Structure 1
Amino acid sequence: MTDWLSLIGIGEDGAPGLCAAAQTALARADVVFGGARHLAMIEHRDKRPWPVPFSPAELLALRGSARVAALVSGDPFWHGAGGSLATDLRPDEWRCYPQPSVFSQAAARLGWRLEEVTCLGLHAAPLARLRRDLQPGQRLIVTLRDGKAPAELAAYLAASGFGTADLWVMERLGGPNERITRLQASDTVAPTAAPVACAIALRDGPAIPLASGRDDAFFAHDGQITKRPIRALALSALAPRAGELLWDLGTGSGSVAVEWLLAHPKNRAIGVERDPVRAARAQSNIAAFCPGAGDVLVGESLAHIAALPDPDAVFVGGGFDHALLDALWARLPAGCRLVVHGVTLETESLLAKAHDRFGGSLLRIELAQAAPLGRLRGWKASYPVVQWQVVR
């Protein structure tokens, strides 16, 4: 059956706001899926609410046997369910009838150029997803979970150092009960009516720098951390690209994994750390900057790498030895980028032999920082770090 699924964008006005083609598709549907609020707007003999958590399984089980309509807020393919529903279907099996998205309506109310605004769907994501985008002078529009979420958003902004941000709380955009309230993130925000979105105009605040090699103070650690200048060189050698997966073996504080994730929102990372306390701390660092984008496993790297998904790059910051070298070389896919740091003489010797055997580049990094020397100052040298970089 072709064209059996209709993705219908629906706004606050409900069915009367639908175009003629969308109303026809809704009328001919055997089954209608949607959120409780949307289903209450229409009359139909077979209305089924989306499961919580969301899953398209029940709808897709009707594939080809019934005509189905799916009610989605605004534009089904702009932070909506359209992508999840259409992924496994042929183009001739579905048709979409979009309406203006919440983001478009919010930008239209404020006179903002939508192409210059960061748009995020936070209705099913933690507020920490915002952290990378908190940059002075930037504008954001975010969808939120419920009427309590604007107050939680304001508190998060204030706690992150952006309490001076202008905040527009936008309730029920596009409907007769639309209301927009402007305040600052440091103000008290009353509970609102869902559906709700917020527009944010950021002022000054402690932004995360865009270049790799962020200050060590951004990360929780116990001293076991790849220091800022060395980390910048590690990320340069790892050369992250959009949508890639990193293995961070001997992850320590997870700082390299976090920097990898900050390079692009679609990047993913898996850390391995033998110390459970450090592993938990690394997981917390990832959650603070890029929630949901990385996992940290507890144990020895050798015990995990066989079962991990193929990486695009691997960083080894500790625990490198002959056994791990042989296992990695046998396991890694062609084209994978491997970067290893060593501090001890034994690891330096191993890296020199690996370089001779497999090629790549070998770099010895020696850094010194100015420090008090009596009444004057002198250079205090750190342990040299040897970096081996190679493509499998």
Structure 2
Amino acid sequence: MVVGIGADGWRGLGDTARDELRNARVIYGAARQLALLDEVAAELAGELVCWRSPMSEHLAEVLASVPDPAGVTDTVHILASGDPMFHGVGASIVARVGADRVRVYPAVSSVSLACARLGWDLSTTRIVSAVTADPEIVLTEATDGARVLVLSRDRTTPAAVATILSDNGFGDSTLTVLEQLGGPAERVYSGTAGTWPHSDGDPLNIVAVDCIGPRVSRAPGRPDDSYEHDGQITKSTIRALTVSALEPAGPQLLWDIGAGSGSVSIEWLRTDGRGRAVAFERDRVRAERLSANARRHGVAHRLDVRGPAPESLAGALADAGAPDAVFIGGGLDDGLLTTAWEALRAGGRIVVNAVTVENQAILIRRREELGGSLRRFVVEALSPLGTMSTWRPALPIIQWAATKPTGTPPRTPTPEEDVS
């Protein structure tokens, strides 16, 4: 039994939720949540147990101790903040034991309360969580005219969000911090990101951002200068074509092999907020730069940076499962392509870009063996020619894109292929 409770405590609970807590044998919760029951402690028959740190391990122990549901009458009661199914513990519990064994009594969520206070339309408001991600996640939704709610990790989040927005062209945006929503200590205050005057506040808060700044699209093909790189970067036009060919959709996993600056995997992640990516990069300096680029674009929490391929592929496969998509932008050879194709999930997409004649020959052979499409891209840019201008072509790119037939199981790379 998972009971959501707001900052208004016992008074905000419905009769059914109150009855559940009154009759519970044990109630688990965070110290702040359990403190909301102090006023009615005499009415509660059970023991109040505060989560140990780390909470995830303690929760796993509690769930593991729950016996088989057949004939069970003793129910585990867990107290949660607001709506337990909205960035809360409820979803984790359901994933662990199944929806048929969990009953949830939600309170009003913090985002519903925030929109009610602000007069914002919740259906058009974008929501990001800095609880499990870096505050830079606000940049995945920041664009001129957008309204964004940031779920804060602690009292430092508002100032961090203000600095990030200011550093990325959104200094004129209005920030509103809503603390202890719905409770007797509720407090709301506003300011401008570029001149944010508040350095501290209540740890229980949510940040509302009314964005004023550049227009930033989720579509792939961001300017090259939005990434730090040493020249090893898939250029903007080719990147847009590449990410589109990879067909990002839903909670998929991408392998970005020879990732360089990470621009392809970053834009894959920006296209759909449910995706994950593993980037393989041999050069440590580039790997560090890649991680910095991911943080700058607000997707670092969904990107796992690994060592070189093919040496690191087996470890990634064991840890994260078979990829739904694979992009190879560097270090191509027949063996790497074979390993990546065999690891790819059935129905998954593979996209490979090649510049050299030797690598292009590999793609021509693989297209004959495995099917798919083969395209040649030539991009020309306007450049000066004396006192006038002319079109100068970049090196042509050959791109092979294919979908792995369903019914083809992925192959696990051998231990010899995993020396990372």
Which TM-score applies when normalising by structure 2? 0.87
In the alignment, does 2:205 pair up with 1:196?
Answer: yes
The Cα shift of 1:183 comes to 1.7
**1:298 match:** 307
After superposition, give the CA deviation of every residue in 1:332-374 in whole Å (9 maximum; x if it has no partner). 3332211111111111222222222222211111122111111
**2:66 match:** 63
Partner Cα separation in structure 2 for residue 327 and residue 75 of structure 1 = 44
User: Is the 2:175–2:210 contact (alpha carbons within 8 Å) kept by the matching residues of 1?
Assistant: yes
Partner Cα separation in structure 2 for residue 174 and residue 263 of structure 1 = 35
Over 3 Å counting, the alpha-carbon distance change for 1:103 and 1:346 in structure 2 is same
User: Is the 1:171–1:197 contact (alpha carbons within 8 Å) kept by the matching residues of 2?
Assistant: yes
Partner Cα separation in structure 2 for residue 78 and residue 316 of structure 1 = 36
After superposition, give the CA deviation of every residue in 1:108-157 in whole Å (9 maximum; x if it has no partner). 11111111111223233210111110011111222212223222222222
The Cα shift of 1:93 comes to 2.9
Task: Give the alignment of 1:200-215 within 5 angstroms.
Answer: 200-203=209-212, 205-215=213-223
Over 3 Å counting, the alpha-carbon distance change for 1:162 and 1:51 in structure 2 is farther
Partner Cα separation in structure 2 for residue 38 and residue 333 of structure 1 = 43
Over 3 Å counting, the alpha-carbon distance change for 1:18 and 1:229 in structure 2 is same
**1:72 match:** 80
Which letter maps to 1:10? I
Partner Cα separation in structure 2 for residue 191 and residue 215 of structure 1 = 36
User: Is the 1:139–1:199 contact (alpha carbons within 8 Å) kept by the matching residues of 2?
Assistant: yes
Over 3 Å counting, the alpha-carbon distance change for 1:61 and 1:29 in structure 2 is farther
**1:353 match:** 365
In the alignment, does 2:335 pair up with 1:326?
Answer: no
**2:13 match:** 18
**1:336 match:** 348
Partner Cα separation in structure 2 for residue 311 and residue 137 of structure 1 = 36
Secondary structure of 2:2 counterpart: strand
Over 3 Å counting, the alpha-carbon distance change for 1:51 and 1:135 in structure 2 is farther
Partner Cα separation in structure 2 for residue 143 and residue 273 of structure 1 = 32
Secondary structure of 2:311 counterpart: helix
Amino-acid identity (%)? 39
Count of equivalent residues: 385
Which letter maps to 1:106? A
User: Is the 2:253–2:325 contact (alpha carbons within 8 Å) kept by the matching residues of 1?
Assistant: yes
Equivalent residue in structure 2 for 1:35, among 30, 38, 63: 30
**Unaligned runs of at least 5 residues, structure 1:** 1-5
Secondary structure of 1:387 counterpart: strand
Which letter maps to 2:47? D
The Cα shift of 1:207 comes to 4.2
**1:3 match:** none
The Cα shift of 1:54 comes to 2.9
Secondary structure of 1:388 counterpart: strand
Q: Which has the higher helix share?
A: 2
User: Is the 1:154–1:189 contact (alpha carbons within 8 Å) kept by the matching residues of 2?
Assistant: no
Partner Cα separation in structure 1 for residue 161 and residue 343 of structure 2 = 44
Task: Give the alignment of 1:191-340 within 5 angstroms.
Answer: 191-203=200-212, 205-289=213-297, 290-299=299-308, 301-307=309-315, 308=317, 309-340=321-352
In the alignment, does 2:393 pair up with 1:384?
Answer: no
Over 3 Å counting, the alpha-carbon distance change for 1:253 and 1:14 in structure 2 is same
Partner Cα separation in structure 2 for residue 194 and residue 256 of structure 1 = 36
User: Is the 1:33–1:59 contact (alpha carbons within 8 Å) kept by the matching residues of 2?
Assistant: no
After superposition, give the CA deviation of every residue in 1:156-182 in whole Å (9 maximum; x if it has no partner). 222222111111111111111211112
**2:54 match:** 53
The Cα shift of 1:218 comes to 1.1
Q: CA RMSD in A?
A: 1.8
Which TM-score applies when normalising by structure 1? 0.93
Secondary structure of 2:61 counterpart: helix
Partner Cα separation in structure 1 for residue 344 and residue 94 of structure 2 = 33
User: Is the 2:63–2:97 contact (alpha carbons within 8 Å) kept by the matching residues of 1?
Assistant: no
Judge which range, 338-347 or 41-50, deviates more.
Answer: 41-50
Task: Give the alignment of 1:54-133 within 5 angstroms.
Answer: 54-55=55-56, 56-64=59-67, 66-133=74-141
Partner Cα separation in structure 2 for residue 273 and residue 114 of structure 1 = 40
Task: Give the alignment of 1:174-193 within 5 angstroms.
Answer: 174-186=182-194, 187-193=196-202
**1:140 match:** 148
Over 3 Å counting, the alpha-carbon distance change for 1:252 and 1:82 in structure 2 is same
Partner Cα separation in structure 1 for residue 398 and residue 89 of structure 2 = 48
Secondary structure of 1:306 counterpart: helix
**2:159 match:** 151
Judge which range, 63-72 or 224-233, deviates more.
Answer: 63-72
Which letter maps to 2:198? V
**Unaligned runs of at least 5 residues, structure 2:** 405-420
Partner Cα separation in structure 2 for residue 382 and residue 125 of structure 1 = 38
